[in-house]
Amino acid sequence: MVNVTTILGKINSVAPNPANSGTFTINYSVANAVNVAKIKVININTNSFTENTISTGKGSLSLNVTNYATGSHSIVLICDGQTADSELFVVQ
């Protein structure tokens, strides 16, 4: 028996990381077969989050760092309700 794993999406980069001013950019790839893709930025200390719907294919999302508290955040790529990838992001 052969198991085939479909990669729904991937966070390719988060830059700058850490960030202290301006914007940071999340570069991602999402499979065209995905119906709904979102990027969630979660404050690790408070569990508060922001969520952005994104398109399939390769793309990028730029966010203003001043909207996020100082500390560690988890950036999570969600494809059709499943966690596809995550990265640690630090605001200084």
Q: What is the pLDDT of residues 27-63, one digit of tens each?
A: 999 999 999 999 999 999 999 999 999 999 999 999 9
Helix (H, G, I), strand (E, B) or coil at 79: strand
User: Considering the entire predicted model, what is its pTM?
Assistant: 0.92
Question: How many CB atoms neighbour CB 5 within 10 A?
Answer: 5
Residue 65: pLDDT above 90?
yes
In the chain, where are the structural domains located? 9-91
pLDDT at 6: 73
Helix (H, G, I), strand (E, B) or coil at 21: coil
For the chain, give the mean pLDDT.
Answer: 95
CATH superfamily to which 9-91 belongs: Macroglobulin (MG2) domain (2.60.40.1930)
pLDDT at 4: 60
For residues 86 and 11, is the Cβ–Cβ distance under 8 A?
yes
